[in-house]
Amino acid sequence: MSTTPTPWLITPATLGEAQTLARFNCLLAFETEDIHLDEATVLAGVTNGFGKGPEVRYLVAREAQSGPPLGQLMLTREWSDWRDGWVWWIQSVYVDKSHRRRGIMRALFGKVMEMAGDPSEDGGAVLVRLYVEEHNHKAQAFYGQIGMANEGYQVWAWKPR
C-alpha cells in the first residue's frame, strides 16, 4: 500500500473523544448490519477500551490537530504462537458520511500499515487482519485495493452471557 502524504492528520484518539467514537460505532452497526446498539453500552466499551492499551488503541483522522474526528478505527492485538509475533486486528472502522470518498479510510489504513512495520510500536505486527460483513462488498473491494486478501476464514462466536 502506498504511503503517499495525505491532507489528513492521523492521531491516537483521546478519552475526550469517546462520545464521538461511540456514536460512530452505533452508526457503523446500523449502516452495515442494520443493528441498533445501545449507545450507553458502546460508550462504556469505548471508554473502557482506553484503559486497555496497548491491546486496544483508537486512531482517528482529522483535518487539523484541534479538529474533530472525521474517521476512526480501533486496533486490537493478539499473540500468534504460529508466527511468534503480534497479529493486529482492525475493527470499528468508520468515516463520517459527509467526509467519505476523500481518502480518510486510505489514510487510516496507511497509518496502520506504517505502524505495523515499526518494532517501536509495541513490537509491531507480523500480520494485520480484519473481519468484514459478508455482504459488504464495497468494503471488501476497498480492502483488496489496499493489498489485503480474504484468508478464507469464517467467524464463529459463542456468547456466555
Residues 48/62, Cβ–Cβ less than 8 Å: no
Cell numbers 504511503 correspond to: 3
- pTM of the complete model: 0.88
- For the chain, the domains span 9-145
Q: What is the pLDDT of residue 67?
A: 86
pLDDT digits (tens, 9 = 90+) for 30-85: 998 999 999 999 999 999 999 998 999 999 999 978 889 999 999 999 999 999 99
Say how far apart CA 83 and CA 90 lie, in whole Å.
Answer: 18
- SS3 category, 12: strand
Say how far apart CA 103 and CA 3 lie, in whole Å.
Answer: 12
Say how far apart CA 65 and CA 14 lie, in whole Å.
Answer: 12
Say how far apart CA 124 and CA 112 lie, in whole Å.
Answer: 10
Domain 9-145 has CATH 3.40.630.30: yes
